[in-house]
Amino acid sequence: MRRRGRALLAVAALLATLMPAVSATAGAPARPARPAREAMLYRLTAQGHFASGARVRGHRFRINDVREIIVETQWWYLTSDRTERVKLITQEGHVYQEWENTLAPAPGRRGRTQAAGTTRIPVAGTSITRHALTGRWRLEVWLDGDSQPRAVRPLSLTR
Amino acid sequence: MTVSFASVVSVSTTITFTGIAVNPVGYLAATAESGQVTLYWSTPVSPQYSDSVIALRNPTSVPTETLTDFTSYGNGATVGSSTVIKVLDTDGASVVDGGLTNGLKYYYKIFNAYKDLYSETSNLSIDSTPTPGTGGTPAWTYSLAGAGASLGIPLTQGSRVIAARGNRLFALDRATGAQDWITSPLGGSVEGWLVPWPKSGTYSDVLGDWTAYTLYAGATDGKAYAFDTSGNQVWASGVLGDGIQATVSPQSWDLEFLNPDFQLTYTDGAGGPMDVVFVATRNGSTTNNTVSALRGFAASGGTPDGGTSIWTFDPQNLVPPAPMDIVVAAPQPTSAPHNLVIVGSYSAGQTQPSLWAINGVTGVNGPAGALVASKGVLGNGPPAHLGDITSEVTFGYACWDCWEVNTIYAGTASGYVVALNLPDLTEKWAANFDAGSPIVGYIWEDLYDPGTLYFTTQDGYVRAIRDNGASATELWRTATAIPSASSPVVDEDRGTLWVGGSGGRLVEIDTASGAMTTAFPGEAAETLGDPTVDFVGGRVYVGSSAGRLHAVPIPLP
């Protein structure tokens, strides 16, 4: 293992020596190859959906007013279908509910792929209103079987 | 090459496994009793690489240790600060971890194993606390890892208590909490209750016969499901809406309706008995919700076309259209002579009707003529509008030992109890008894004393009121001081009701006086939901925001 590591270092050093020379010959500045982009959660928003049809973006909602909370995600640089998991965590740290969405990447601008997920979290008439489950909750967004969430956002539920 | 084995004493070789994926177990559940915890799991189906399961137990926190591939771990071995519990696949899919200390929380993390290769288990850990079942502590507590909160009422049938957690249903032994079965994941979560219902054509034989039931549930994927009493899915409907939140309501051909017209309508095609299941939708829209009647169990041949729609009531097709908002309470079928399906809905900000009476017999011909009455505005003073129906619709019976329903009670978001006559939904009375808080869950009518009602409001008050015909009076009110009080469950024989709430609290109230006793079977960071009472076993079963199900001996100390 140690010997193989040394060999790799030697190759890397050789490439580092040759590359500027090659670039100079072509008459263009050196431009190192970009590393492969990792799946990236670009945007995470929460909107309260009211009986009037109005949608209000925010992170604090009154449980007796809002009908549902719509969580939208936007991902970049997915190379294949992935699964996002949206977890709603109570103030006490328990998982209230978990939702799964399939993310299907599509070509986007500047060569990156884009995928979007939408999760509708019912509030009216659910255990949240029936048992007045209020407090400082949080949203967690996970990707596939990751051991850590990709994003955590506060979500306050009040009366 | 030819090898002569006669000269070979021993052969040693190294086998390298490639392309083997040792997947984690499918679920992890635990039942805590006095001095022990029983763990339950399912090994992966595809691929089936599993020859044992290893659980790590830690007395202070969720085990953070991982298992090292190609290392053998024996039962009782120590890994970091955790202890190994090893189960070979020939031992089944459960293990009892005994000799534990009551009141101490134990944490478990589980690994599937194959030839000393181990799965990753990022989301399959669980905690479980053995309790003695005395002093207000649970006799047993069942937990399901990562399943989410479940505050709806668990149900008892035969020797089982059945409930839903997230997208799975399970049945437990009422005495011990031992898991009898658990379903594979459904397409969505079950928000309403799981309903066991006797199969048509078998009612005379059904008493005490658990197998003579079908279990029905609605899920957030917009489908209704039916299961047999072993947890096997019998059918799933098509997608009826964005989601089904309300409890689905089965009706037996030969048990409830007792109506020749109904029985002629709901047959299996050959004139034989067939049950029907009423289902209402929770759509994203405030206007396009519907109520459907689905084929349930048919006595002749099991379930031909089970889950297919018989009719769908879409009030937008009425002339003039009458849009229906989301339905979060069970559609309630009444017995003869009315044979109605009563539906309480939201009201799109008090702009639409929220109480509906649908003809359960003529409804088969489509929505035309199916609507008997709808109600939005009240005529007897405030509240001028019914508003959102936030509670289940409760029937008021004409007498304690008859099936005749003459009143329906509904709770509103503004804290009113509304009483209406059947079948025309004319108003009897509406009153709020100083309750400015929404009525939660359901209004419970006393079995032996029709017209006496018990209910909870979101601010934690429990009230008993009396329906006097043209008005209602308050008998008592009790401030539970619980900000998240549940609906009450009443045992009329004991003269007692129970309410769950935040802080792990369970409250016991005397129905005659309103006097209250409090116990703490749950943890401080746990809200207890709607209880159900085991009349025979002397226990209350109650779910919680932590995804646990507690069996608490009654009366509380």
Per-residue model confidence (pLDDT) at position B129: 96
Per-residue pLDDT reduced to its tens digit, A59-112: 999 998 999 999 999 999 998 999 999 999 999 889 999 999 999 999 888 778
Tokens representing A12? 């890397």
What pLDDT sits at residue A29? 59
Chain B residue with Cα closest to A64: B413
Looking at residue B404, its pLDDT comes to 76
Judged by CB atoms closer than 8 Å, whether chains meet at A126 and B191 is answered as yes
How many whole angstroms from its chain centre is CA B73?
39
8 Å CB contact between A82 and A119: no
- How far apart are the CA of A41 and the nearest CA of chain B, in angstroms? 20
Which of A124, A133, A146 faces B527 most closely, judged by CB atoms?
Answer: A133
A97 vs B contacts (CB less than 8 Å): 148-149, 166, 189
Considering only the beta carbons, identify the residue of A98, A125, A132 that sits closest to B148: A98
Residue with tokens 């008459």: A27
Could you tell me which residues are beta bridge partners of residue B510? B496
Q: pLDDT value at position B478?
A: 95
Nearest CB to A94; choose among B441, B487, B545: B545
**pLDDT tens digit string along B122-165?**
557 899 999 999 999 999 999 998 878 888 889 988 889 999 98
Q: B122 and A129 in contact by Cβ < 8 A?
A: no
Name the minimum distance, in Å, from the CA of B410 to any CA of chain A.
Answer: 14
Check A132 against B348: CB less than 8 A apart: no
Q: B118-123 long-range contacts, Cβ below 8 Å, gap at least 24?
A: B118/B22, B118/B54, B118/B66, B118/B67, B118/B68, B118/B69, B119/B22, B119/B23, B119/B24, B119/B25, B120/A145, B120/A147, B120/B24, B120/B66, B121/B24, B121/B25, B122/A145, B122/A146, B122/A147, B123/A145
One pLDDT digit (tens) per residue for chain B, 557 residues: 334 444 445 555 555 556 677 888 889 999 999 999 999 999 887 667 888 899 999 999 999 898 999 999 999 999 999 999 988 876 678 999 999 999 999 999 999 999 888 887 555 789 999 999 999 999 999 999 887 888 888 998 888 999 998 899 999 999 999 999 999 999 999 988 888 888 876 655 555 677 788 899 999 999 999 999 899 999 999 999 999 999 999 988 766 555 677 777 777 777 777 888 999 999 989 999 999 999 888 777 655 688 998 889 998 888 888 899 999 989 998 877 777 889 999 999 888 999 999 988 777 656 666 888 888 877 766 667 888 888 889 998 877 777 778 899 998 888 889 999 888 888 899 988 876 788 888 999 999 999 999 999 988 899 999 999 889 999 999 999 888 889 999 999 999 999 999 999 999 999 999 999 999 999 999 999 999 999 888 999 999 999 999 999 999 99
pLDDT digits (tens, 9 = 90+) for A12-26: 443 333 343 333 344
For chain A, say whether B352 makes contact (Cβ under 8 Å): no
Residue that is written with structure tokens 């030819």 in the block: B2
Beta-carbon separation of B149 and A96 below 8 A: yes
- Residue type present at position B181: W
The yes-or-no verdict on residue A6 having pLDDT over 50 is: no
What integer pLDDT is reported at residue B4 of this predicted model?
Answer: 47
The full set of domain ranges for chain A reads 40-158
List of chain A residues whose C-beta atoms are within 8 Å of the C-beta of residue B526: 92, 94
Chain centroid to Cα B391, Å, comes to 16
**What is the predicted pLDDT for the residue at B383?**
67
> In A, which residues are within 8 Å of B220 by CB distance?
122
As a whole number of angstroms, the distance between CA B231 and CA A7 comes to 59
Sort out which chain A residues have CB atoms less than 8 A from B390's CB and list them.
Answer: 125, 129-130
Is the pTM of the predicted complex or chain greater than 0.90?
no
Give the A window 73-112 contacts with B, CB below 8 Å: 90, 92-98
Strand (E) or helix (H) holding A3: helix A2-26
Provide the ipTM. 0.84
pLDDT at A15: 39
Interface probe with B: pick from A130, A140, A147, A158, most Cβ of B within 10 Å: A130
Q: State the greatest distance between any 2 C-alpha atoms of chain A, in Å, as a whole number.
A: 73
Chain B residues 253-312 with a CB less than 8 Å from chain A: 282, 284, 286
Per-residue confidence (pLDDT) for residue A10, from 0 to 100: 42
Higher pLDDT, B414 or A49: A49
Interface probe for A, chosen from B242, B388, B482 (most Cβ of A below 10 Å), is: B388
Q: How far is A140 from chain B (nearest CA, A)?
A: 14
User: Cβ contacts (< 8 Å) between B123 and chain A: which residues?
Assistant: 145
Taking a C-beta distance cutoff of 8 angstroms, is the pair B356, B407 a contact? no
Q: Closest Cα partner for B549 from B34, B118, B177?
A: B177
**Chain A to chain B Cβ contacts (< 8 Å):** 109
Pick B483's closest partner by Cβ from A93, A125, A132. A132
**Residue A114 touches chain B, beta carbons under 8 Å:** no
pLDDT confidence of residue B12:
56
Q: Nearest 5°: phi and psi at B453?
A: -125, 145
C-alpha A117/C-alpha A159 separation (Å) is 28
Among A94, A98, A131, the residue with its CB nearest the CB of B484 is A131
Say what the pLDDT of residue B523 is.
93
Confidence tier at A1 by pLDDT (50, 70, 90): very low
Q: So what's the pLDDT on residue B481?
A: 86
| The pLDDT of residue B495 | 95
B98 contact A CB<8A: no
- State the pLDDT confidence band at A11, using cuts at 50, 70 and 90: very low
Q: How far is B144 from chain A (nearest CA, A)?
A: 11
pLDDT at B255: 61
Pair B32, B131: CB distance under 8 Å: yes
pLDDT at B248: 95
The domain A40-158 is placed in CATH, from the list 3.40.605.10, 2.70.50.60, 3.60.21.10, 3.40.50.10440, at: 2.70.50.60
- Hunting for tokens 């469950």 — which residue is that? B489
Q: How far, in Å, CA of B241 to CA of B224, rounded?
A: 10
pLDDT bin (cut points 50, 70, 90) of residue A55 is very high
Strands B140-144 and B548-553, how do they pair?
antiparallel
A9 interfacial to chain B (CB closer than 8 Å)? no
CA atoms within 13 A on the CB side of B404: 6
With an 8 Å Cβ cutoff, is B169 touching chain A?
no
Q: Do A93 and B525 touch (CB under 8 A)?
A: yes
Please tell me if residue A54 touches chain B, with a CB cutoff of 8 Å.
Answer: no
